[in-house]
Amino acid sequence: MTRALLAGCFFVELAVAALLGVAVAVGRFDDPSLLVGLLSGLLAVAGLLAWQLSIEQLGKVATHGALLSGCLVFAFPFAWLVGTSMKYDEEIFVYPPRWLPSWPETVTASPYASDESVLGAERPEGVSAAQWAALWPRIETALWARSEVLLDERLRAHLAPGQLRGALTRALFATATPGVPGIAWQGREDALVAALAGRVDQEMVNEAWSSVYRSVELRAPVVRDRYHNMHLPGDGRYFLDRWGVQEGAAELLAVDSGEPALLLAYDFAQQDAVELSGVFALPVSEDEFLGITLPLRQDRSWHGLQVVLELGGKRYVLEDALYLEQYRWQELSFKIAAFDERDERELGVWPLVLAEDQGEAYAEAGAFRVAVRIERAGSLATGWRKYFSSYRNAYIATEHRWAYVFNSLYLAFLTIVGQVLSCSLVAYAFARLQWPGRELWFGILLATMMLPGQVTMIPVFMIFRYIGWYNTLAALWVPSFFGSAFFIFMLRQFMKGIPIDLEDAAKIDGCSYFGIYWRIILPLVKPSLTAVCIFTFMNTWNDFMGPLIYINDQRLYPLALGLFDFRSEHSSEYGMLMAASTLMTLPVIAIFFMAQRYFIQGVTLTGMKG
């Protein structure tokens, strides 16, 4: 019986690990044959081990398997958090879910077609893998034949036909499938293919094209003066003829993207950089000039982007590294940092600083020169930039980021000091000193643990507001110097296990009560004090309700409240939210693992050091 129970436990542990693996790799559980085969194989493995191993060995295997399974289950949400922070927004809401972030394409030539943003172009539910392998070529052929009739020849002139066909048909399939009844997938294949192709119209083709087409396009810059007024650079409207390629294998082609624009067709087969520049009339005086806004469509290639502005014999370059990370039109604004020192990167305004190399800077009066340089990114650089872009954007989007970190560390340090000093002193008095009413007062202390915090929340707030601590950090750390009933109880129990002989020997040597506490008791309760420090740090670091009640100034927010404020401003940018949450979680995890040994010793309250 014991052997059978252990074998069953081991099978459950293997099943948990295997199902998590299927969730990550496949993302769906609608294939009964896969699940039955997997579970049958695991059952056979568990039965074989139960037959070969002794009960003692099987018990060890089951115990370690339970621990590993628990680790996998509890680590899974954190792994999902980290993985989501590295995804594109369109990777988050998709079925089957993509648990692992995709590796970005390595782009060497643009324009190009990509299906990385296509959602729902997967095997439908109820269709086996074998059926899908035979059906998809027919569907793809029909969708491509239909889209060829509706797609403007000028749009696909610069794309490889095979590349466009694969991406466009997947996008059309994802759009057309929701309108097909589920029963159609169980009927005749000819009727199904005809139904899908029949749903494709001009609007659907245009929508699919916009989701798969990638290109770099730009228009003329718009001048921004110091009063934040916008000016076109001259008397005309578009000024596209001012742009020209200065370096690299590239050409500029006139296109119509709602408005006239220039398409930059480049190829990094021979060179690793492309540069184009243009000279434009200055519609304001140099004293009033602040910066420019450049309408730019990016191709999500993650290549490096450098913008150089030359005005009045001075050359300005970007202070931050920019990448081609979007795939739609975006207005990139740049300003000379010396004229306006405010950090407006969150609003899409990037600072320009004086370049170290000022040689041959454009100096003609009444005009300025803009140069746009694209530098090739390799596969590793592309992946790095994509995976950590949400962290970079979250950092930029948080104005008081370092204030949040400082406030959290400041509160954590003071509350740890307060709890350690106050709780250890009170615990020493309850554990080692003899005084009238000790047990009664200790019972009253424990009774306060049954008092909900919501009961004292309003009275404490009124007291702190009366003494002038509202909207100050003092209201969050001063109460720690009055102790915590739970920590006092924990330390008292640990101190009661210390032999009385050590205390008697110290008294013979003339040591005072405080000396005994400081020289004898504290060194012996280090594991328990470490547990107090860890608990206090975690509670303070994650405290949200306290700062929400007492703090009104954003500069005094700790990270927990700062993250809440960040969420209210960027509620739809899930990658940035997950990145900010990950960064806030990492210190707690790191401290726990570094102090794990002391933490376990302190909580178990066993033994005495030495």
pLDDT digits (tens, 9 = 90+) for 5-15: 777 887 787 88
Separation between Cα atoms, residue 89 and residue 93, nearest integer Å: 7
Which architecture, in CATH terms, is 218-378?
Sandwich (2.60)
pLDDT (0 to 100) of residue 607: 42
Residue with tokens 């009664």: 440
> Are 88 and 115 a contacting pair, CB within 8 Å?
no
**For residues 608 and 359, what is the distance between their CA atoms, to the nearest angstrom?**
72
**What are the angstrom distances between the C-alpha of 449 and each of 109, 453, 484, 544?**
67, 9, 9, 20
- Confidence tier at 234 by pLDDT (50, 70, 90): low
How sure is the predictor about 335, in pLDDT bands with cuts at 50, 70 and 90?
A: very high
Q: Output the pLDDT for position 237.
A: 53
Burial class (CB in 10 A: 0-12, 13-18, 19+), 181: exposed
The confidence band for 598, taking pLDDT boundaries of 50, 70 and 90, is low
CB contact at 8 A, 212 and 115: yes
578 close to 85: Cβ distance less than 8 angstroms: yes
In degrees, rounded to 5, the angle at the alpha carbon of residue 217 between the alpha carbons of residues 213 and 223 is: 145
Q: How buried is 221 (Cβ within 10 angstroms: 0-12 exposed, 13-18 middle, 19+ buried)?
A: buried
Residue 423 has pLDDT above 90, yes or no: yes
Q: How far is CA 28 from the centre of its chain?
A: 24
Cβ-in-10-Å burial (0-12, 13-18, 19+) of 378 comes to exposed
* Predicted pLDDT at 498: 86
Exposure string for 21-31, b = 16+ CB within 10 A, e = fewer: ebebeeeeeeb
Question: What is the spatial distance between Cα 318 and Cα 492, in angstroms, rounded to a whole number?
Answer: 60
Q: For residue range 145-187, list pLDDT tens digits in order.
A: 888 888 877 767 777 767 788 888 888 888 888 777 767 777 7
Span 560-579, average pLDDT: 88
Structure tokens belonging to residue 496: 């009661």
Question: What 3-state class would DSSP assign to 552?
Answer: coil
Helix (H, G, I), strand (E, B), or coil: what is residue 454? Answer: helix
Please give the pLDDT value at position 119: 67
Q: What percent of the chain has pLDDT over 70?
A: 94
* pLDDT confidence of residue 38: 76
Amino acid at 406: F
How many residues are given for the chain? 610
The answer to whether 230 and 223 are in contact (CB under 8 A) is yes
Going by the DSSP 8-state scheme, the letter that residue 325 receives in this structure is: -
- Coil, helix or strand for 255? strand
- Does residue 35 carry a pLDDT above 80? no
The pLDDT assigned to 485 comes to 92
Q: What is the DSSP string of 187-232?
A: S-HHHHHHHHHHT--HHHHHHHHHHHEE-EEE---EEEETT--EE-
Q: Given this model, what pLDDT does residue 30 score?
A: 63
- How confident is the model over 377-405, as pLDDT tens digits? 999 999 999 999 999 999 988 888 889 99
The pLDDT of residue 417: 95
Q: How far is CA 373 from the centre of its chain?
A: 29
- The per-residue pLDDT for 9 is 80
pLDDT at 311: 92
Q: How confident is the model at residue 595 (pLDDT cuts 50, 70, 90)?
A: confident
Is the separation of the CB atoms in 276 and 372 below 8 Å?
yes
CA dihedral 478, 480, 483, 488 (to 10 degrees): -170
Q: Which residues pair with 253 in a beta bridge?
A: 263
Please give the structure tokens belonging to residue 63.
Answer: 């115990």
Is residue 403 within 8 Å of 555, Cβ to Cβ?
yes
Residues 420 and 480 sit within 8 Å (Cβ to Cβ) = no
Band the pLDDT of 610: cuts 50, 70, 90.
Answer: very low
Query: When comparing pLDDT for 55 and 243, which is higher?
Result: 243
Give residue 313's region: left, alpha or beta (phi > 0; psi -120 to 50): left
Find the largest Cα–Cα distance for the chain. 102
DSSP state of 510: T
State the first-to-last Cα distance of the chain, in angstroms, to the nearest integer: 43
Residue-wise pLDDT tens digits, 474-508: 999 999 999 999 999 999 988 988 888 888 888 88
Among 392, 234, 247, 398, smallest CA distance to 308 is for 247
pLDDT at 193: 84
Sign of the C-alpha dihedral, residues 571, 576, 579, 583?
negative
252-256, 357-361, 572-576, 598-602: which range is least confident on average?
Answer: 598-602
Which comes out higher in pLDDT, residue 410 or 131? 410
Closest to 597 (Cα-Cα) out of 540, 538, 527, 512 = 527
pTM comes to 0.82
Measured CA to CA, the distance from residue 241 to residue 254 in angstroms comes to 9
Residue 173's pLDDT is 87
The phi-psi region of residue 300 (left if phi > 0; otherwise alpha if psi is between -120 and 50; otherwise beta) is left
Helix (H, G, I), strand (E, B) or coil at 93: coil
Q: Encode pLDDT of 71-110 as tens digits.
A: 888 888 888 899 999 998 888 877 777 788 888 989 999 9
| Cβ pair 28, 96 in contact under 8 A | yes
Share of the chain above pLDDT 90, in %: 35
468-479: average pLDDT: 93
CATH (one of 1.20.1600.10, 2.60.40.1120, 1.10.3720.10, 1.10.1740.10) for 401-604: 1.10.3720.10
Q: Considering the chain, tell me which residue range(s) the CATH 1.10.3720.10 domain(s) occupy.
A: 401-604
User: Average pLDDT, whole number, for the chain?
Assistant: 86
Q: Is the pLDDT of residue 609 over 60?
A: no
Structural tokens at position 81: 């958090």
Alpha-carbon distance values, 536 to 97, 412, 426 (Å): 37, 7, 17
- Every domain of the chain with CATH number 2.60.120 lies at 218-378
HEC per residue, 569-604: HCCCCHHHHHHHHHHHHHHHHHHHHHCHHHHHHHHH
Spatial separation of the C-alpha atoms in residues 503 and 432, rounded to whole Å: 9
- Number of other CB atoms surrounding residue 348 within 10 Å: 13
- Residue 464 pLDDT: 92
Cβ atoms of 473 and 558 within 8 Å: the answer is no
